[in-house]
Amino acid sequence: MPSVQWSLICDYYLIDQAGRLSLLGIFDRLVVPQLPVVYPYLHVVTQWHLGSARQFRLETRLWTPTEQVLATSGELPVGPVPNDQHLTINSFANLTLERAGQYLVELLADGETARFYPLQVTPHAPPATYRPLGPV
């Protein structure tokens, strides 16, 4: 079964003409002004080690703190690929985050969990406006 070498969540990604990957806004937690919030774009970027397998079925799931599936990429075929490493990017748009807590990213290969990792969502009110105590 393929294994995960690394996986990150980011706001944006770019693959240039030379095939180089750039990731912007890498995060493992979201601090939001209030809940619920609609998060516009979230990309799960994963480097897989395929071993002897040159193709597999990939699925990425996002789970809520109450263990409900928030979003899924659906099962996607990968490969066949010429070498034993492969990069995948799963994009999710307009995710409604209803509550604070630990969300989970689940990566599956051929229907089996390859890795889970957390995404913490925390509400935080913006700081109060500064007001001097005396005359200025």
Tens-digit pLDDT profile for residues 76-130: 999 888 888 899 999 999 999 999 999 999 999 999 999 999 999 999 866 666 6
Alpha-carbon distance of 76 to 117, in angstroms, equals 20
Check pLDDT > 60 for residue 2: yes
Tokens of 105: 């990213």
Spatial contact of 96 and 45, defined as CB atoms under 8 Å apart: no
Fold observed for domain 3-123: Immunoglobulin-like (2.60.40)
Spatial contact of 85 and 2, defined as CB atoms under 8 Å apart: no
Higher pLDDT, residue 84 or 35: 35
Partners of residue 66 on adjacent β-strands: none
Tens-digit pLDDT profile for residues 36-81: 999 999 999 999 999 888 889 999 999 999 999 999 999 999 988 8
Domain spans in the chain, listed from the N-terminal domain onward: 3-123
pTM of the model: 0.88
